[in-house]
Each structure stands twice: as structure tokens, then as C-alpha cells.
Chains A and B, each alone.
Chain A
Amino acid sequence: MCRTGHEPDPSDPDNGEASSAAFASLLEDSAEELYESAPCGYLSTLMDGTICKINATLLGWLGLERASVVGRLRFTDLLTVGGKLYHETHFAPLLRMQGRISGIALEVKQADGGRIPVLVSSVVKHGSSGEPLLIRTTVFDARDRRSYEEELLRARKAAERAREQAEADRARLQDALAVLQQSLLPADLPSVPGMEAAAHYRTASPDRLGGDFYDLFPSDGKSFAFFLGDVCGKGPEAAAVTSLTRYTLRAAAAHDPDPVAALTTLNQALHERYNGSDPRYCTVIFGTLEPDTASGKVTVRLASGGHPPALVLRADGTADFLPTPGGLLVGILPTASFATATTVLGAGDTLLLYTDGLTEARTGEDRSALYGDEALRALAASHAGESPQAVVEALAALLDGFGDGLDDDTALLALGVPAPAPTHQATS
């Protein structure tokens, strides 16, 4: 590009004449001509910003005469007010500190009131002893680029608004889900005369809708009923089944608190509702508590539909499963049989109900082993004789320890007869 044209390329004789003409026309492009008519604006200012030289291109963009600019205006006079502020707070300090600055987006004002977005670069020319002499500045027309950038900025702002909206929607949805979830569980456990009760619930699903459920409620004048179960699946579909299950059992118990009768009613309701292409079922233990005010003992009668057996923690420090073999999943067949069991809780005994989220938690380094029934029984034994609250807290701590090994929802319900208070042992 910088060849002079005096010596046309001898290896290319055919084009020699044409090249000569081209180079000759380049000769016409003197440095002065290049400066004045360059496709960018040039200006030079004193260190205080006073314009001492400016090219025709820039004057043309500004719509100003040379005589009204040179020696009369400062560079900042060409800028919009916002540009002036930016120049003073960023551009000028950086130019002073670095001696150069490039690609700064500003706007210049035109004589007719218009504005041109430009990209500005400046460099300080120093004298022989290093003192700053003047500032050389190039100005590029950035109209197209600026409109493109504005599009990008607009798009970014729109995306930002959409994100904020999405977050707000999400928060609202979570609140709504939390309300629904709360409708599936008792807000508080009622106080049962002569007994203590404690419960814990943990959902593994990100939308906080679980498929486990439990309840404890008065069934007639002196006895109470309870249930705890697990609907197959997770999330909203499971929650819908949970809702139907919970309120069916409550209604069934009001009609007839007998455990087998309640589960039979539930089986019919679930089977009738979910007998199509999307069968839904659950496992559940339903039971009644009959306190004997004379002895302080409580008779527990329960029935299980395919649910893991309850654990009984005795005051003597033992813990054993209360087997309920053979009970069928609830809701899967038109008619189902359920296994029943009975036990009596004395002072210091606790009945523990749980869902398989606990026993099927993945443990070990690689999360491949399951926690298991025996580990649960052994842990329960180590807490036998403690209050239901203490037992539930110990198991909640265990669940915490599982971390990401906990795949499924987990519900715990512990019902116990307080031990005769020895000394200062707060159990409530």
C-alpha cells in the first residue's frame, strides 16, 4: 500500500500501464489531503483542550467553520453535556495518567442541534524533554455501531426485566406451593392426654410438594387416631393423591375409627379415582390410641397397607419392629386386605412411624449403600426411653447428615407415654 509508484512491478508487464496510473493517482493523495479528507475526524488540542487544528471531515460533521473553532473552542465544547461530564470524570484523568486512551463512546453536537455518536481516541504528544505538548484525537462516526449497541442494551434490559419477573413469579409460586403443602400436614399436633407426640417432615422435591403425610386427631370423646403414609411418586401429582388420602382418612375415621375400616374406605376412594391409565396408590399405617386413665397405659391398634412396620421403643432400652406383614398397597386393587397389630405403650415407651425416605437414604462414600431397617432399629434402641421429641430430633439430625443421599420425602411421627419424671429431665 505504501509503494511510491515510481517503479512499477517489472514482473507484471501486462499491467504496467494501469498500475502506473493507479500509483499516480495515489501521489495526488498528499498528506495534507489525507488529513483533511480522511474518513475520520482529526483534531489537535493544547493540553487545556483548546482546539488548534481540526480536519475538514470533522468540521463537516459538526457543521462548523474552521474560523469559529480553531483557537476558540475546547474539545469538550463539541460534546453533549453528558459527554462533558464523562470526559471530565473518566476520559481526561485516564488520558493524563496513561498518555493515551482509545475507543471511548461519546456524542458530538452539530450546529443544527443534531448529535453524532462517535468513538474517540486520544494520545498525548510529548516534547523532547518529556513534557506534554498537545493532544491528538481521532473521531470515528459510530452511528451504525451505536444503534446496534443500543439494540443490545435494550435486549439486555428486556432480559433483565424478564428475569426479575420470572423471579417474582417463582417466589409467588413457591408461596402458593407452601400454602398447599401446609394443607397436607397438620399445623400443630393436638395434645393427647397422658401422651406426648412429635413429628418431622422433610421434602426432597425442589417445589416443596411432598408425597408423604401424617396426622393425629381426636376420633371420639377419649380416643385419638393417627396415620402416616407415603404416596407413590413426588411433586404435584403425588401431592394431589396425598390430599385425597388425608381427607378421606379423616372422614372415614369420623365415621368409623376402626383401622381396617378406615383403610378399606381409602382403598375404595383411591381405586375409584385413579383406576385409569394413571394408577396411583399409597402405603399407610392407620391406628387408634386408647388411653387407660387408671393405669396410664395406652393401647395402640393399627392396620398397615404395605407400609414399613412401626418401631416400638421401650423404656428398658430396646426397640423392635411391630410386624404388619401381608397388608396390600392401598388403591391398587378394587378390594384389599390389611394387616393389623396391637401393642400397649407403658411409661417411657414410644411408637415410631416413618416413611422409607429414611431407610432408603443412600449412604457411604459413593452413596451406593442404603441406610436400612437394622441401622434404624439400632439407632432407635440407642434412644429408647427418651421422649418422642428427643427421638424425632435425633432422627432429624440423621437426615441432615444424609445430605444429597436423601432422595425421597421423609415423614416421622413419634407417639409416647412420658416416663415418670425423674429429676429435671425436660421432655416437652
Chain B
Amino acid sequence: MDVKRRNNVTVTGNPLGRTVLLAHGFGCDQNMWRHTLPALVDDYRVVLFDYVGSGRSDLSAFSEDRYTSLDGYATDVVEICEALDLRDAVFVGHSVSAMIGVLAAGRVPSRIGALVMVAPSPCYIDEEGYRGGFSAEDIDELLTSLESNYLGWSATMAPVIMGNADRPELGEELKNSFCATDPDIARIFARTTFLSDSRQDLKGVGVPTLILECTQDVIAPREVGAFVHQAIAGSTLITLDATGHCPQLSAPEATNAAITDFLARLR
């Protein structure tokens, strides 16, 4: 199995620098980091990838069995770390990827030496004594939204989307392709993401951890950021002056500054 090809792994930046692994969340693909990359490439070796089922990954490697748990996605991360033989890398995970990073770091502690959690949430659904922000019915609504929007996905387009990562001239044709996902796979990833509960896993985090939250984030409200911060001993919480769930896109400067500052302190 060629993991690099399967997960559309891109390695860039300074080959002598510490490795930073950028992991996208549910919805789009590694293009989510396009404004983050320039801030890192001079000093760090940067690894980008798409989870199996997202972006330009090998869709034939997707199996419902494996990817109905975050552990399946964490296995992608572990296998990428092993394929590249990473040591002491910094894992930057957006949204659900922050929790996938926690699981992966627990499995290969020598390979992941620090975590940056961008807009993390360990549990999206409200429970007694915990407010994640959503009810189970809300998640069903999201699944309906997924069914109503294929975002340029069609079975005939798939080969074009998958096979032309390096051909920007196909741009118009590939409109929305960053988020184009096989609807059946998107549905599984959405369920896996929004029905996950990784609160217990936070306690096991033993590496330096930076938590980035936004002032206004529907998906990861500030109570959740505080919960994560409190659960991970020694973690740093920074509240970015940003709205929405994707500060790396809506407030790239502030996000980059927080990440590079954290990375500099690790050295």
C-alpha cells in the first residue's frame, strides 16, 4: 500500500526544519491550509494530506468499516507518520482533526511531539453537564444538507477531480472541488465527526498543546474551547478575534502568528 499516494501526501517547506503536519477537518481538503503554508515553509518541513475519502485521496481505499470511527482516521495519520518516518512532529489539526491528532499522538508518541488544535471540539452533542452546541436532530439536519448539495461532485467528474491535482487550468471545471466529496463518503465522515465523543481522550494528552478558538464559532463555541483547555494539563488557549469555524481562512494573520509563536517556543 502506497500511503503517500493514498492520502495525497504533499511534503514541502524547509527540509531541515522540524516537521509540521497540517490536517484538514470535515468538509474540504488540504487546500484549507493555503494561507497557513506561506508562514511555515521557510522554517519548517510541512506535510499536507487528504484523509481517505476527501480531496484527491484514493477513494478506492475508503471502507465504511474503518472510517466509522475517528480511530480509522487516526490510523491514516499514524500510517503517514510511519511512511515518512516522522519523529517528534507537530500535528496541526483543524476541527475534528484536532481530536484525530490526540488519538494518533497517543498511538505513536515518539512521532508526534506537540499538538495545535484549531477550533477543536471533543463532543458536538449536548449532554448533561456538557454543552457541545448541538442535538442529535441537528446532526440529522446537516446530513440532509449534505444530501442537497453535491458541490460539483458527480461520478463522471470524480476522475477529473482526483487525477488533476497539478493542473490549475482545469480550475473552472473544478469549481468547488476542494469540498467535492462522494456524497456517501461525506455522509459517513459527517456522522463519524459529529457523533464522536473524545472527551475521555483529552486527559491522556502529554505533549505541549496549543488550542486556538474563535470568538464566534457555531461549531466549536467558547465553552468547548474552555473545556478542552481545562482537560489538557499545561495546554495554552488562545482566543482569536475571528468569526466562523475556519480562522486559518478568515483570520490567517492572527492564526499564523499564534501557530508560529507556539512553534518557536517549542525549540
Contact = CB atoms under 8 A, between A and B. Distances in A.
Contacts of B262: none
A146 B179 contact: no
Given A74-B243, A86-B142, A97-B31, A92 B250 contact: yes
Interface in A71-130: 74, 76, 80-86, 88-90, 92-94, 96-98, 101, 104-106
A82 B219 contact: no
A93 B28 contact: yes
Interface stretch (B73-81, B102-110, B133-141, B159-167): B133-141
Interface residues of B, number: 39
Interface string B110-150: 00000000000000000000000011001111111111110
Nearest to B244: A92
Most B C-beta atoms less than 10 A away, residue of A83, A86, A89, A146: A89
Given A76-B218, A89-B245, A93-B178, A82 B25 contact: no
A81 B34 CA distance: 28
B208 interface: no
A179 B31 CA distance: 55
Contacts of A81: 134-135, 138, 141-142
A149 interface: yes
Given A85-B141, A106-B145, 14 more contacts: A47-B250, A48-B216, A48-B243, A84-B218, A86-B142, A88-B218, A90-B27, A90-B28, A92-B244, A92-B246, A93-B27, A94-B28, A97-B31, A97-B249
B245 A92 contact: yes
Interface string A122-166: 000000000000000000000000100100010000000000000
A233 interface: no
Contacts, number: 95
A49 interface: yes
B146 A86 contact: yes
Contacts of A74: 216, 243
Interface string A223-234: 000000000000
Contacts of A146: 148
B250 A82 contact: no
Given A90-B151, A93-B249, A101-B176, A82 B244 contact: no
Interface string B150-192: 0100000000000000000000000110110000000000000
A349 B143 CA distance: 71
Given A83-B141, A88-B218, A94 B176 contact: yes
A33 to B, nearest CB: 33
A96 B249 contact: yes
A92 B32 CA distance: 11
A106 B144 CA distance: 10
A93 B248 CA distance: 10
Contact of B145 (A83, A94, A97): A83
Nearest to A89: B27
A98 B177 CA distance: 10
Contacts of A94: 28, 151, 176, 178-179
B227 interface: no
A93 B148 contact: no
Given A48-B216, A104-B149, A105-B149, A89 B144 contact: no
